[in-house]
Amino acid sequence: MEIKGKLLIASVFCGWLLVPASAAALGVTIGYIQWVPDQGPVLSNVTPDPEDAGLRGAELGIADNNATGKFLDQTYTLESVMANDADDAMATLDDMLENGIELLVTRVPADTLRAMAKRAGDKALLFNAGASDDDLRIRECQPNTLHTIPSYAMLTDALAQWLNMRRWKEVFLITGPTEEDKAWADAFRRASKRFGLEIVADKPWTFDSDLRRTASRELPVFTQASDYDAVVVADVRGDFGEYVPFNTWLPRPVVGTQGMGPEAWHRVVEAWGAAQLQNRFRELSGREMNSEDYAAWAAIRSIGTTVTGLSEAGRSSIREYLFSDNFQLAAFKGRKLTYRPWNGQLRQPIPLVHPRGLVATPPLEGFLHPETELDTLGYDKPESDCQIH
């Protein structure tokens, strides 16, 4: 990709913003750093993930901020970098910090994010729009890091709530070989306890033959068990999971990372004005908006909403405001979104989707919480060691 490895100022704001600004004019520069490790070869390579997932969402967030900012004499600029590797991502961070950029959105793996948070210290505020690892939210919270991408626990809690609601309580869990797969499966095991599910079979995926030739023969045997209500797949990168539906021993639905599953965002979400966001995104990028795009968009809109409310763009004031009662993000999910003060996670409903339709949007009615139903998804305050605010 041409934009790899160098600073690029995205000219998403329009010409009329370049008129001489008055004394009260406010310019806000936001950095975006993306580094996605190679996922390795996958069996299911029919629909590869877009390489610019995240970046395009960030660009739309900037455009939305500017459309609002033009009435308030505020302009937003995005500096985005697609890094080649972890070192490159760190070097980019140094670069941006040196250039005085103190608001950053990242789509990088958890390890890189940890290093970045440490390096940035009190010089920047980071928005994690890429790493779903629960440890970042329960043990290793950083005061300078907020999370707009849902954690694995939020995703699997949403799924488990729904399985409970459907009374499909006995499930067959298949876990892939990667660290992400294991983290997803661990989160699901926790969710199954919280929402009264029973994992009747818990099997790691170990086959290495090409399922496109043998799926119909291998999977029925692999999913043999006396009975279960649903099969749950933990295959985060999309290796074998697409071949599980319709190939199970028993005629049962497949849910999880494939089949029907939880997402931060998906093209089938259209209620609560989402159709308009989907249209704007499609026009900007020529493709459908996904969870990474949404997380980056939500981070930049969080900044925009805050700057509108504050009329200033200092990192510390923004952080204070984000955790205050004044902050509320309208983000097309039917409720106002806010940040959890203990770990900086953006609370949000989680759509459960299949490729062509929306099934439900947890938190579901009946799962109660004394503060907000949204906190029935993910690690709640008493379950987290963190208190970053």
Partner 1 sequence: MKNFFKIASLAAAISLSGPALASLAYVSNEKDNTLSVIDTETNEVVDTIDVGARPRGILLSKDYTKLYICASDDDTVQVLDLATRKIIDTLPSGEDPEQFALHPNNRHLYIANEDDAIVTVVDVETKDVLAQIDVGVEPEGMAVSPDGKWAVNTSETSSMLHWINTETFEIEKNTVVGQRPRHVEFTKDSKIAWASAEIGGTVHIFNVDTIEEIRQIDFKIKGVPQDRVQPVGIELTSDGKYAFVALGPSNHVAVVDAQTYEVLDYLLVGARVWQLDLDKDEKFLYTTNGVSSDVSVIDVEALKVIKSIKVGRFPWGVVIDPTS
Please say which residue, 15 or 40, places its beta carbon nearer to partner 1: 15
Using an 8 Å Cβ cutoff, are 133 and 345 in contact? no
Residue 343: closest CA among 188, 134, 190: 134
Answer for which of 29, 39, 44, 68 binds partner 1 (CB under 8 A) is: 68
- Nearest-approach distance from CB 59 to partner 1, in angstroms: 14
Based on the shown chain and the rule CB under 8 A, indicate whether residue 72 belongs to the binding site for partner 1: yes
Please say which residue, 35 or 265, places its beta carbon nearer to partner 1: 265
Answer for which of 92, 142, 302, 305 binds partner 1 (CB under 8 A) is: 305
Residue 277: closest CA among 15, 345, 322, 266: 266
- H helices present in 32-149, as ranges: 55-69, 86-98, 110-120, 135-138
Peptide bond into 363 cis (omega under 30): yes
Please say which residue, 179 or 371, places its beta carbon nearer to partner 1: 371
Sole window of 125-133, 143-151, 228-236, 278-286 interacting with partner 1 (rule: CB under 8 A): 278-286
Based on the shown chain and the rule CB under 8 A, indicate whether residue 247 belongs to the binding site for partner 1: no
Please say which residue, 250 or 284, places its beta carbon nearer to partner 1: 284
Answer for which of 37, 48, 220, 273 binds partner 1 (CB under 8 A) is: 273
- 9, HSE (Cβ side, Cα atoms, 13 Å): 8
Please say which residue, 106 or 338, places its beta carbon nearer to partner 1: 338
Please say which residue, 139 or 336, places its beta carbon nearer to partner 1: 336
Using an 8 Å Cβ cutoff, are 161 and 169 in contact? no
Sole window of 19-27, 70-78, 105-113, 351-359 interacting with partner 1 (rule: CB under 8 A): 70-78
Sole window of 131-139, 145-153, 180-188, 331-339 interacting with partner 1 (rule: CB under 8 A): 331-339
Q: Backbone phi, then psi, for 130, in 5-degree steps?
A: -140, -30
Taking each helix axis from N to C terminus, what angle separates 110-120 and 86-98, rounded to the nearest 10 degrees?
A: 30
Contacts of 292 (CB under 8 A, 6+ apart): 53, 54, 57, 107, 129, 130, 149
Size of site (CB under 8 A) for partner 1: 24
Based on the shown chain and the rule CB under 8 A, indicate whether residue 316 belongs to the binding site for partner 1: no
Token representation of residue 213: 């030739």
Q: Which residues pair with 26 in a beta bridge?
A: 74
Based on the shown chain and the rule CB under 8 A, indicate whether residue 329 belongs to the binding site for partner 1: yes
Based on the shown chain and the rule CB under 8 A, indicate whether residue 366 belongs to the binding site for partner 1: no
Based on the shown chain and the rule CB under 8 A, indicate whether residue 374 belongs to the binding site for partner 1: yes
Based on the shown chain and the rule CB under 8 A, indicate whether residue 336 belongs to the binding site for partner 1: yes
User: Rounded to an integer, what distance in angstroms lies between the CA atom of residue 28 and that of residue 302?
Assistant: 13
Based on the shown chain and the rule CB under 8 A, indicate whether residue 267 belongs to the binding site for partner 1: no
Based on the shown chain and the rule CB under 8 A, indicate whether residue 324 belongs to the binding site for partner 1: no
Using an 8 Å Cβ cutoff, are 10 and 78 in contact? yes
- Nearest-approach distance from CB 239 to partner 1, in angstroms: 37
Q: Which residues pair with 126 in a beta bridge?
A: 104, 145
What is the identity of the amino acid at 225?
A: A
Interface residues with partner 1 (CB under 8 A)? 64, 67-68, 70-72, 273, 276, 279-280, 283, 301, 305, 308-309, 328-330, 334-336, 372-374
